Structure 1
């Protein structure tokens, strides 16, 4: 009897679907945290960015306490590092090695595998929030209580958006191209609203960055953690990018080279 690769339903002799997903999610989380390159991108670089932005006077982070502005930018960077760069590279090389094709035919199924990857991203993001948040507090950041809920929602929506973009990239290009592009995009997004406000960018770059998911994520985190506001416009931008990327990925994703 063949196994439906898209199903996460119970299979005779297999563990319950929930247990399969959680087990794979735990494995994916350990792999993300144990990989030296990914640890550098997901924790060390955001920590250095937070410290550097807080203790220096450049670049201009806009109005507000510099520590809170730096914290918002560092947390936005965490989302891109884990949900996009880390997930795109890991998925691209799993696809090249045949891991995705193999797991898609197991009781875990393709749907279960995608759910496990999403949970792994959220788990790593939780670690990042604790570490970066603690460092931000040590550096003097005092975010308004009113901004905690919109900040948390921004992190979740941003993660969903960038995971969709990661799967779109990882499912259509060769692993080597994914590695190069994911790291290049990470660098480019730093200057497109991720760590500094989009309205501080010169000329046409300001509206362009505001329409990109990086600018929407960065501006949303700053609005939440500095002003305690609800970034509805930025959420709309993230939602549009996420839905479009998810639809494209569902049509173009290849489970093997």
Structure 2
């Protein structure tokens, strides 16, 4: 009897916090990737953008000497991937989880609010890693040959971009209704992709509009990644802009996020 009781006690012990966070992260990742609409946003559209920018002459006027279309296109498409996963994808999922009471339920479990947020962040990193592999692999097949150091340097830069956009996405998802979150995040995704300095440098925009767009996290992210891959440089001002957006958005999220 004592042996059975001991065995039952071992099996009834709650999982550790890291194990709970990893389980939540796996769930969030699989949910994002399996959803048809999310898969279109996370994978298909960025790949189509990469191919479209490479086979057309849209980026020719922005190419530095010796750079190919792929060299200019890949950094922007990688930023678009981050916006898709950290901003739109996770924001929409969080908004509907909040609507259906999932967030309220999970926040009262042993996972807790901190564990739930950590699981979401890890899921974003996992999806971003998948996107990076697919986009860079596609680009390599098309003839892209980046500097290895630029590839390594881009990883922490993309994490900074992800932190900033996750904060903004969570703020919207935690303060607006799910339907409004869905509409706003999708509209903002299109606006940033088209004229937010992501795929095209802000020099393509009129003067004062260009100056305003430069202050957006999308334009800062685009400049940061293009500086990394095209010039092998760390763009300080765009990095500071992203850091400010990250701090302010997460501070606002902590203050105003509603779990119900």
Structure 1 CA distance for aligned equivalents of residues 253 and 19 of structure 2: 26
Assess if the C-alpha contact under 8 Å between 1:145 and 1:228 holds in 2: no
TM value normalised by structure 2: 0.91
Q: Distance in 2 between matches of 1:19 and 1:80?
A: 28
1:113 alignment partner, one of 113, 116, 120: 116
Correspondence for 2:79 = 76
User: Relative to structure 2, which stretch is displaced further, 217-226 or 196-205?
Assistant: 196-205
Q: CA deviation at 1:68?
A: 1.1
Deviation at 1:234, TM superposition (A): 1.2
Match of 2:14 in 1: 14
1:125 corresponds in structure 2 to: 128
1:210 aligned residue: 214
| Equivalent position of 1:56 in the other structure | 56
Deviation at 1:62, TM superposition (A): 4.0
Could you tell me how far apart the structure 2 residues matched to 1:202 and 1:122 are?
35
Q: Among 241, 248, 254, which residue is 2:252 paired with?
A: 248
Matched, 1:224 2:228: yes
Unaligned runs of 5+ in 1: 1-11
Write out aligned runs for 1:118-157 (5 A). 118-157=121-160
How far did 1:93 drift?
0.1
CA contact (8 A) 1:146 1:229 kept: no
Give, in angstroms, the shift of residue 219 of structure 1.
Answer: 1.0
Q: Residue 99 of structure 2: which of 88, 96, 104 is its match?
A: 96
Off by >3 Å, runs of 4+ in structure 1: 59-62
2:28 paired residue number: 28
Task: Give the TM-score, by structure 1 length.
Answer: 0.92
TM-superposed CA distance for 1:149, in Å, is: 3.0
- Look up the match of 2:192: 189
CA RMSD of aligned residues (A): 1.2
- Alignment-derived partner of residue 4 in structure 1: none
Give the secondary structure class of the aligned counterpart of 2:207. coil
Q: Please name the residue that 2:175 is paired with.
A: 172
- The count of residues paired between Structure 1 and Structure 2 equals 245
Question: How far did residue 153 of structure 1 move?
Answer: 1.5
After superposition, what is the alpha-carbon deviation per residue over 1:165-222, rounded to whole angstroms, capped at 9, x for unaligned?
0110000000000000000000110111000112232221211121110000111111
